[in-house]
């Protein structure tokens, strides 16, 4: 894979790239220690058989510049990735987003639908979040840097108890790698994924719930939503919310699967994703 760090709007965005064909950006989730290549370790090579696969570290994560606009985090992520498209000289690209990355993809599509070809979302964030209390899984994620601070035990409990359906599917090496990455001092000082606070918190919360955005019902981008039926981080009912509101949205519920569809059910995900992006289904 080719690795490049781009200067984008005053900050650096790291991206790995491989393959040839229509461009597909894989946008990772927002858990502690997350990064692009680690999030899509079971998908990149397969998708690269047919696509030009670009895997960035989102702003605030991995080898990209830390710090996110707390007043509009999804908008800030979308702006960063849209600027990356400009750096890559891409007028339009397909977007694949897991969780936090799904929220980034959806916000980018809502703001500039002409920049997105097709979109695949896996348990995206920001769906109905003002209509119910946070799930235990999301609370576990948000509390990682609080209290007595980050620890490997905290991270292991989040990953094995909340992130996936089958805890035995996660090697210790994945937890070790994520834990080391989660200890970045800049991230500890200002975690990119946190509860909105302060005078503008309510406004931020509303802005982060896409079901409150009237543009959703007019979004023309063909979209495939994949959601694990055993997702403990973002409620699977969010899939139905999107399917009912978006005019060109297909919904696929994945049995006995948690929040990490692309990892837990990689073979199924790779086939569905490749076919959908190519317009074969």
Q: What is the mean pLDDT of residues 142-155?
A: 94
Q: How would residue 131 be classed by pLDDT, with cut points 50, 70 and 90?
A: very high
| pLDDT band at residue 16 under the 50/70/90 scheme | very high
Predicted confidence at residue 155, as pLDDT, reads 96
Beta-carbon neighbour count of residue 135 at 10 Å? 17
The pLDDT of residue 194 is above 80: yes
Identify which of 152, 222, 214 has the alpha carbon closest to the alpha carbon of residue 181.
Answer: 152
3-class DSSP assignment, residue 273: helix
Q: Per-residue pLDDT for 281 more than 80?
A: no
The predicted structure's pLDDT at residue 42: 97
Mean of all residue pLDDT scores within the chain: 95
Give the span between the Cα atoms of 133 and 116, in whole angstroms.
Answer: 31
pLDDT digits (tens, 9 = 90+) for 264-274: 999 999 999 99
Tens of pLDDT, residue by residue over 216-252, are 999 999 999 999 999 999 999 999 999 999 999 999 9
Nearest to 121 by CA among 142, 144, 98: 98
The set of catalytic residues is: 259
What pLDDT is recorded for position 198?
85
- Mean pLDDT in residue range 97-118: 98
């Amino acid at each position: 894979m080719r690795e490049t760090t781009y200067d984008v709007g005053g900050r650096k965005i790291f991206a790995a790239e491989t393959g040839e064909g229509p461009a597909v950006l894989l946008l990772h989730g927002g858990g502690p220690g997350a990064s692009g290549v680690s999030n899509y370790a079971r998908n990149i090579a397969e998708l690269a058989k047919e696509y030009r696969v670009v895997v960035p570290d989102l702003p605030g994560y991995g080898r990209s510049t830390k710090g996110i606009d707390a007043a509009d985090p999804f908008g800030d992520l979308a702006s960063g990735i849209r600027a990356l498209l400009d750096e890559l000289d891409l007028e339009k690209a397909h977007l694949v987003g897991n969780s936090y990355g799904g929220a980034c993809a959806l916000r980018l599509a809502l703001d500039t639908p002409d920049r997105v070809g097709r979109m695949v979302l896996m348990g995206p964030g920001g769906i109905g979040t003002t209509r119910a209390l946070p799930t235990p899984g999301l609370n576990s994620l948000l509390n990682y840097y609080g209290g007595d601070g980050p620890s490997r035990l905290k991270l292991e409990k989040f990953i094995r108890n909340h992130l996936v359906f089958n805890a035995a599917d996660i090697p210790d090496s994945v937890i070790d790698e994520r834990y080391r990455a989660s200890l970045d001092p800049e991230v500890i000082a200002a975690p990119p994924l946190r509860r909105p606070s302060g005078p503008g918190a309510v406004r931020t919360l509303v802005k982060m719930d896409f079901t409150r955005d009237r543009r959703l019902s007019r979004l023309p981008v063909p979209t495939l939503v994949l959601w694990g039926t055993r997702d403990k981080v973002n409620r699977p009912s969010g899939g139905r919310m999107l399917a009912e509101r978006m005019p060109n949205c297909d919904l696929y519920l994945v049995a006995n699967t948690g929040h990490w569809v692309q990892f837990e059910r990689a073979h199924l995900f790779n086939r569905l994703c490749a076919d959908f992006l190519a317009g074969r289904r």
